[in-house]
Amino acid sequence: MRKKYVAGNWKMNLNLAEAKALVEGIKKGLPAGANIDVAVCPPFYMLVPLAEILSGSPIALGAQNCYFEPKGAFTGEVSAPMLKDAGCRTVIIGHSERRQYFGEAGDLLKKKVMAALANGLEVIYCIGETLEEREAGKTESVISRHLREVCGPDVSLDKVTIAYEPVWAIGTGKTATPAQAQEVHAYCRAEIAKLYNPTVAANVRIQYGGSVKPDNAKELMSQPDVDGALVGGASLKAADFLGIIQGALAAQA
Ligand code: PGA
């Protein structure tokens, strides 16, 4: 059985004092020995001080992006070895905001995923359609294209979590219904079975993201192919994030 995985994507929010208070709150509220994976992904400059606070805790630290080159003249970028050095366990790659505002796609994302994995990081790889694409009946073709950008014989999914995030549900308060999420998650798993094999597909975790809140978390994560959540807005308050973790635990009970 796939263990649920709840990750918080803080995006470009909070200051260091608020961030420290938030991780302290999550640490305190996380039920001891809970059978769940939890990660927080703060902005780059908070990684090192938060790694200290999280040291020895089951909460993993993640980044929201990385560059594929290990070092050199790439002003403004942070590499996968640097994230590892900062104490990260994972990194989000291909978030729709990176695709939309920074033009990230295809080959670049594959290089980033490969660099992260080669440097011992796990990856949360984000995929998902816009409202326009959904309304034009292109959801499956977009999902399939996003998966194929990264998946293939040269990329093992052992350390990769897929995050299905319909762009129209991100930060809008419009959650996909559990049935809509399940439909796309099942499609993703079937595509992964085609790209790899049924065992890989059965083992890969697929998170849902897009306006996940404490009051919809359990229902979403009770769907057979929804293995967790990538949470934006509701990951910025300990009580809300812990409520989503409770929802995940209830869904897998
Ligand atoms: P949201 O963001 O929970 O605020 O909708 C999710 C995400 O972008 O990862």
* CATH value at residue 176: 3.20.20.70
Q: Using DSSP, state whether 228 is helix, strand or coil.
A: strand
Q: Using DSSP, state whether 179 is helix, strand or coil.
A: helix
For ligand 1, whether the C-beta of 212 sits within 6 Å is yes
70-105: per-residue pLDDT in tens?
A: 999 999 999 999 999 999 999 999 999 999 999 999
pLDDT higher than 90, residue 174: no
pLDDT bucket at 167, cuts 50 / 70 / 90: very high
- pLDDT at position 1 is 83
Catalytic-residue membership of 183 = no
CB atoms within 10 A of CB 30: 18
Q: Whose CA is nearest to atom 2 of ligand 1?
A: 232
Angle between helices 214-221 and 178-195 (to 10 degrees): 50
Which residues does residue 152 pair with via DSSP β-bridges, in sequence order?
155
Our mutation pick for probing the ligand 1 site, out of 92, 165, 213, counting the most ligand atoms within 8 A of Cβ, is 165
Ligand 1 atom index nearest CA of 230 = 9
Catalytic-residue membership of 95 = yes
Ligand 1 atom index nearest CA of 9 = 9
For ligand 1, whether the C-beta of 171 sits within 6 Å is yes
C-alpha 153 to ligand 1 mean position (Å)? 30
Segments forming the whole domain that contains residue 80: 5-252
Question: What mean pLDDT comes out for the span 201-212?
Answer: 97
- pLDDT at position 169 is 92
Question: What mean pLDDT comes out for the span 205-213?
Answer: 97
Q: What is the Cα Rg of the chain in Å?
A: 17
What value, to the nearest 5°, has the Cα angle with vertex 196 and ends 105 and 8? 50
Count of domains for the chain: 1
Q: Which of 146, 165, 185, 191 does the annotation list as catalytic?
A: 165
* Structure tokens, 201: 């597909």
Question: What mean pLDDT comes out for the span 104-119?
Answer: 97
pLDDT higher than 90, residue 241: yes
* Structure tokens, 242: 């812990």
- pLDDT at position 253 is 85
- pLDDT at position 210 is 96
C-alpha 55 to ligand 1 mean position (Å)? 26
Calculate the CA dihedral of residues 165, 171, 172, 176 and round it to 10 degrees.
30
Q: Using DSSP, state whether 127 is helix, strand or coil.
A: strand
* pTM beyond cutoff 0.95: yes
The Cα-based distances of 59 to 6, 23, 45, 192, 202 in angstroms read: 10, 9, 18, 28, 25
CB atoms within 10 A of CB 81: 18
pLDDT more than 70, % of the chain = 100
